Amino acid sequence: MASYILRRLFFLIFVLFGISVIVFGIMMSFGPERRAAAYITTPQQINAIPEIIKTYGLDDPFVIQYVRWIKEISKGNFGWSRYGAMPVWDALLTYLPITIELNLFAAPLTIILGIWLGTRAGIHKNTFIDHVTRITSVIGWSLPTFLFGLILLMVFYGLTQWFPPGVLDDKFIREIIQHPDRFTAYTGMYTVDGILNNRWDITLNALRHLVLPVMTQVVVVVAVLVRVMRSSMIEEMSKEFVLTARAKGASERTVNLLHVKKNALIPAVTVAGWLVALSLQGSIAVEIIFNRPGIGQWTAASAIALEMAPVMGMCVFLAIVYLTTNLIIDILYAVIDPRIRLE
Amino acid sequence: MAKVIEIKDVNTNFYTYEGIIKALDSVSLTIDHGSTFGLVGESGCGKSVTARSIMRIVQEPGKIESGKILFYPDPNKNGEGVDLLQKPESYMRDLRGDKISMIFQEPNSALNPIFTIGFQISESLLFHRKKELCQSVVDDLGKTGNGLFIPLSALLKKIYEIGARNPEALLLGLFSRIPILKRWDRLLKKKALNRSIELIDDLGIPNPQEVVKLYPHNLSGGMKQRVVIAIALACHPVLLIADEATSNLDVTIQAQILNLLKELKKKEISSVLLITHDLGVVAHTCDRVGVMYAGQLCEVADVRDIFENPRHPYTSALLGSVPKLLQKKTLQSIEGNVPNLVNPPEGCRFHPRCQYKTDICSEKAPPMEEVGTNHSVACYHHLSG
């Protein structure tokens, strides 16, 4: 197992190389002028474009520019993010925790809820429970994120003031800015930092801000998992080993929750892993509606402004996320299914 | 001879989109203690449904509509049988795998792919023999020098004594939820695993200690079928149902398994219901034979009578369609097709394919009639002996 993981991590280097070439190639398909435009901020600088191209070597051959880019990256320099007004690496460290914080709560909830509901719906196929689960999950799935988020915001903030948007109450933010020595940002996630700094009031407040975005994220995403788990349960329930188990004298509960469910989990694990990887690129709608400056907002804004550096950085980051998720899924497969051996 | 099971007028229907499939239509048969009853017929004639109806494991959308399945567990105590169709599900759960068990057709899919062989066999023991297993663990713990820490050993002994008295005790369920004591049943599982090893050793699986740690995909088809048999035999059933147990195996393995079943029948189990479409297997193993056609039983007789003196036209046609070693003529087949069970033919279900049919055949279903010693047939024009 350990050697398998090491080997997979080793191959990651080659995959990353491939991805970086592709991403860089796409970026290079823009002309040097277009890329130089990202450096100018005022109309007066337009005349400076040829100079910028020359200084930064934007019309050099592909290989040279690529090697230059890789060299800078290996030094930790991912470039400058104009939207964030800071280096890309710092921007990533600033925005990413906010997205991760959301998924830290949304992902386990989605997986637990999705598998639980899917299992129940599968066992009680075509009964009231099944219909209710399916109808609700389809409604959740087909409601646009922004609409559902806005409705939640209207009810729980507009009408009742229970769960405000944003990341933290203003008074706490002010306190943190004014006394940086009292509150250390270990992770950038206020819920976790609050505990680490022994400031439970901040953690609780951050959690209050998280309720609505987490709810939106879960409701929108969970339907996929419910459907996969349900159909996988139904498929496994018709297999012959179920009859063997029943003929052995197993109770309905043992048959469904041990024999069937463990088999049915195999496809669900793939979907769950994929959903988590997908949410790590940040849901733009959730982040904008609930005013959480996460990585989705940042990537979208950077891409619109054609900022090469952040987009490339993001691509490399997402590649790493997807590859690690795939590795984790493969390991989980081997844990659940003995037929799959990691070699 | 004492009966072990008596099926009376059982009807089982499947509710599908095309309509109601009458898979079993008033099937009645009796199996004696100590005998092997062969049930033969074409695919889809209701053999497996009969077996599953006996165990009440007919899958959705099937439903047993009416009839009686009387079970007489003890050959020495003649009396009223237990009607399995009237019993609650919990009674059936205790019965399945213990008193009545079943070997399935397809060993490749009959085993759960993600559990070890050892787990799948011990499961059956853990369902039905928990009490005995707990008792034997208590006996083991009583002996000194088992290498366990003494207070722990005393505590474990107490727990297993509870288990030996009442395996369903609530206290045991509670223990399973307490973190340190959660694993109290480890010795129990080990005991069950050891029993499983003995069991598959008896069935001629080489290297049983290693095999219990393997998964189904590591074994060959014949080995898997032996494991399936081991699961069925784990609790020494009174009635063993073998549903096409050898159909998907190659001939040498088939012969091995059949001889194994024959041998086991002498030592371990009382009676066998053997379901097959292979008449050679029937001749080799059975005492009595029932022939099924389209959800109905058409002839029941001792095995010699069936082969030497078939009375039902279908039985005779079925025998005629078996290739023989010294056959000179072309092989005979039965004209026509198996009827659709959503709309079975009126009267005798075989009449559209029968060469002896008359008007009455399409009007009224023939009743089961005694035509010789222990030989009954459902036909108006049964062939004379």
- Tell me the pLDDT tens digit for each residue of B272-315: 999 988 888 888 888 899 999 888 888 999 999 888 888 888 88
Q: A181 in a domain, yes or no?
A: no
**B1-113+236-339+368-377: in CATH 3.40.109.10:** no
pLDDT tens figures, A62-75: 899 889 888 888 88
**Cβ-Cβ contacts under 8 Å, A334 against chain B:** none
pLDDT tens figures, B13-25: 999 888 888 888 8
pLDDT of residue A118: 94
Band (pLDDT 50/70/90 cuts) for residue B182 is low
Domain that includes residue A48, residue range? 2-81
Q: For residue B231, give the nearest of A244, A251, A338 by CB distance.
A: A244
Give the chain B residue whose CA is nearest to the CA of A266: B114
Across all residues in chain A, what is the average pLDDT? Answer: 87
Band (pLDDT 50/70/90 cuts) for residue B144 is low
Cβ distance of A338 and B228 shorter than 8 Å: no
Whether pLDDT at A231 is above 90: yes
Q: A195 in a domain, yes or no?
A: no
pLDDT of residue B334: 80
Whether pLDDT at A236 is above 90: yes
Cβ distance of B110 and A245 shorter than 8 Å: no
Q: A68 in a domain, yes or no?
A: yes
* Same domain for A134 and A57: no
Q: Using CB atoms within 10 Å of the CB of residue A88, give its burial: 0 to 12 exposed, 13 to 18 middle, 19+ buried.
A: buried
Q: Give me the mean pLDDT over the B358-384 stretch.
A: 85
Give the chain B residue whose CA is nearest to the CA of A261: B114
Q: Which of A16, A46, A81 is the last residue of a domain?
A: A81
Cβ distance of A249 and B95 shorter than 8 Å: yes
* Same domain for A152 and A10: no
* Residue pairs spanning A and B at CB distance below 8 A: 78
Band (pLDDT 50/70/90 cuts) for residue A233 is very high
pLDDT tens figures, B313-358: 888 888 888 777 777 777 777 877 888 888 888 888 888 888 888 8
Q: A178 in a domain, yes or no?
A: no
**Cβ-Cβ contacts under 8 Å, B93 against chain A:** 249-251
* Same domain for A158 and A111: yes
Any idea what DSSP says for residue B96? Answer: B
Q: Where are the domains of chain B?
A: 1-113+236-339+368-377, 131-187
Strands B36-40 and B288-293: parallel
Q: A54 in a domain, yes or no?
A: yes
Cβ distance of B110 and A250 shorter than 8 Å: no
Which residues of chain B have a Cβ shorter than 8 Å from any chain A Cβ? 52, 55, 57, 59, 89, 93-98, 101-102, 104-106, 109-116, 120, 123-124, 127-128, 215, 217, 228, 231-232
A53 vs A203: CA distance, rounded Å = 48
B164 vs A143: CA distance, rounded Å = 57
Cβ distance of B96 and A245 shorter than 8 Å: no
pLDDT of residue B145: 54
* Same domain for A327 and A225: yes
Contact of A187 with A202, CB cutoff 8 Å? no
Q: A170 in a domain, yes or no?
A: no
Q: Which of B198, B199, B205, B202 is closest to B219 using CA atoms?
A: B205
* Same domain for A312 and A258: yes
**Cβ-Cβ contacts under 8 Å, B231 against chain A:** 244, 248
Q: What percent of chain A has pLDDT over 70?
A: 99
* Same domain for A291 and A234: yes
Contact of B270 with B351, CB cutoff 8 Å? no
* Same domain for A96 and A71: no
Q: Which of A36, A51, A81 is the last residue of a domain?
A: A81
Q: Give me the mean pLDDT over the A45-59 stretch.
A: 83
Q: Alpha-carbon torsion B262, A240, A250, B65, what sign?
A: negative
Q: Using CB atoms within 10 Å of the CB of residue B358, give its burial: 0 to 12 exposed, 13 to 18 middle, 19+ buried.
A: exposed
Q: A222 in a domain, yes or no?
A: yes
pLDDT tens figures, B212-241: 999 999 998 888 988 998 898 888 888 999
Q: Give me the mean pLDDT over the A85-109 stretch.
A: 90
Order of all β-strands in the sheet with B369-372: B100-103, B239-243, B271-276, B36-40, B288-293, B296-302, B375-377, B369-372
Q: How many domains does chain A have?
A: 2
* Same domain for A132 and A7: no
pLDDT of residue A343: 65
Cβ distance of B114 and A336 shorter than 8 Å: yes
* Same domain for A121 and A256: yes
Across all residues in chain B, what is the average pLDDT? Answer: 84
Helical spans, DSSP H, in A154-260? 170-178, 190-196, 200-237, 240-248, 252-254
* Same domain for A315 and A242: yes
Residue of B112, B236, B239, B273 for testing the chain A interface, max A β-carbons within 10 Å? B112
Query: pLDDT higher for A114 or B159?
Result: A114
Q: Which of B145, B124, B143 is closest to B192 using CA atoms?
A: B124
Q: A182 in a domain, yes or no?
A: no
Q: How far is A269 from chain B (nearest CA, A)?
A: 15
